[in-house]
Amino acid sequence: MNSSASKIYLAVDLGATSGRVMAGFVSDETGKLVLEEMHRFPTTSIREGNSLFWDIRDIFSSIKTGLKIAAERFGERIQSVGVDSWAVDYGLIDEEGELLGNPHHYRDSRTDGMRAAVLEQVANERLWKETGIQYLFFNTIYQLYAEVRSDPTRLSAAKRLLFIPDLINYWLTGKALQERTVASTSQLLNPITGAWSETLLEALELPTELFAPVIEPGSVVADLMPEVVEETGIRSASVVTIAGHDTASAFVALPGDGDDFAIMSSGTWSLIGLELDSPQLSENAMEDGFSNEVGYAGTVRFLKNICGMWLIEQCLGAWKKAGRAYDYAEALEMAESASPFGSLIDPDAPEFAAPESMPDAIAAFCERTNQPVPESDGAMLRCILESLALKYRYVYRKLGQYASQPLKGLYMLGGGSRNELLNQMTADALGVPVVTGPVEATAVGNIAVQMIAHGAIQGLGEARELIGRSFDSKTFVPSESGDFAAVAERFDALLRQADDLS
């Protein structure tokens, strides 16, 4: 490791509910990577009429506040800035370089019915071969086709589409670029050619000029623009296109290098999969609902999206409005005290995507699947946690069919790994150890890629070695008290029943 290791690298890490600016550096005393939080802020959304948008200018203002705090703390030591965020959402830039309105939120209802509309133009098998991406109602392809069908004038006025990390990078540097890892989530990028799918752009009448050649993660884009320098006080930093999709950044921070473990990034969403060298485009992979998303250094994240902490967050929010406010620790204690396996849900049922009331949606699911409605808030939380663990088991077992060797465990990354009750349930359900990695995995991976880009460390292997000795991990082993194997058949039958009724 060379002398540049003492430099400061700033991670702008945007999640679906909150964002933060984190500073990372290697300690001279310990040789370990250290994180310091500069600023945390909500990633606000706004509703206009029937549409839901991100308040992206407010988010950018909060980012600049975080950068200013970092400048006051570290001054000339700051080397670079990297931005990661959630996937699929985008802004449109016009000929003058101005943003054409706030980006739509991925949970906006404009994609309703777009799956069927797209399939009228492109067969499902062709869509899969062109992209290798699983169907999710909010994918960029469905958002854009909604614009083609309802508001084509906005697309015709646009010069460039920028995903959320690209848009922030544009406002920081003036460079309108599209980074590969986040572009790969759009269901418009071909995983074999590495280019945008001309077949899909033509079939769906999407303007080709919106899509530029993608830039690789780990590229130094440019220095901060003068006006950003003036606002933040950061005088000598560049912007690096790290792995812009937050899950891609999280995967950089794996706590080990064994290819006999599955990997999960746990947060609002739970993304569980494998790290592969090339995409898996078999018919079975399509039918099993997996995606091939591009990772850092040419890797492929072969994974499946599962609804995660969103279910809990939404229940806690609804109960707070009703006058029953619980902190997270209290909520988990309530769940742990509740009776096991009362009712189960499919975490990915369509009615949980954006309900007015998550508790009401869960109650309705239980009723339509002939199960008792959870009688208390704790019972409902336990229902969610047990159902998540069982869904993880279901997907983990399918993943085993695509692994190069038998899977022996699961790496759990990200903020969701704080939930030790769910971690233990997951170990019990899977019947294998669950090893938790950095809680701040996304920010850690973001910073590691910046360090590689500037030559402070050499490659992904050295980055993971540094991360592995810098952050504690904890292993959850299957307990004898867990009874998930006995209830797994019931859960699998519930998935089939829910599909039949939907």
Q: What is the CA radius of gyration of the chain?
A: 22
Tokens (6 digits) for 430: 């899977």
What is the predicted pLDDT for the residue at 451?
A: 97
Counted residue by residue, the chain has a size of: 502
Tens of pLDDT, residue by residue over 418-467, are: 999 999 999 999 999 999 989 999 999 999 999 999 999 999 999 999 99
220 in Cβ contact with 80 (< 8 Å): yes
3-state secondary structure of 83: strand
Helical H segments across 369-419, by residue range: 377-399
Phi, psi of 453 (to 5 degrees): -60, -30
What is the predicted pLDDT for the residue at 70?
A: 98
Tens of pLDDT, residue by residue over 381-393, are: 999 999 999 999 9
pLDDT in tens, the chain (502 residues): 443 448 999 999 999 999 999 999 999 999 999 999 999 999 999 999 999 999 999 999 999 999 999 999 999 999 999 999 999 999 999 999 999 999 999 999 999 999 999 999 999 999 999 999 999 999 999 999 999 999 889 999 999 999 999 999 999 999 999 999 999 999 999 999 999 999 999 999 999 999 999 999 999 999 999 999 999 999 989 999 999 999 999 999 987 666 899 999 999 899 999 999 999 999 999 999 999 999 999 999 999 999 999 999 999 999 999 999 999 999 999 999 999 999 999 999 999 988 999 999 999 999 999 999 999 999 999 999 999 999 999 999 999 999 999 999 999 999 899 999 999 999 999 999 999 989 999 999 999 999 999 999 999 999 999 999 999 999 999 997 668 988 999 999 999 886 665 5
3-state secondary structure of 424: helix
Query: What CATH number matches the domain at 3-246, 3.40.50.300, 3.90.1150.10, 3.30.420.40, 2.40.128.260?
Result: 3.30.420.40
Residue spans of the domains in the chain: they are 3-246, 250-307+401-476, 310-391
Tell me the C-alpha distance between 191 and 211, whole Å: 15
* DSSP state letter for 416: G
Q: How wide is the angle at C-alpha 303 spanned by C-alphas 489 and 148, nearest 5°?
A: 110
- Three-state secondary structure readout of 423-492: HHHHHHHHCCCEEECCCCHHHHHHHHHHHHHCCCCCHHHHHHHHHHHHCCCEEECCCCCCCHHHHHHHHH
By annotation, the residues acting in catalysis are 246
3-state secondary structure of 258: coil
| Domain 3-246 matches domain 250-307+401-476 at the CATH topology level | yes
pTM of the model: 0.92
322 in Cβ contact with 475 (< 8 Å): no
Query: What is the average pLDDT value for the chain, to the nearest integer?
Result: 94
Query: What CATH number matches the domain at 250-307+401-476, 3.90.180.10, 3.40.50.300, 2.40.50.140, 3.30.420.40?
Result: 3.30.420.40
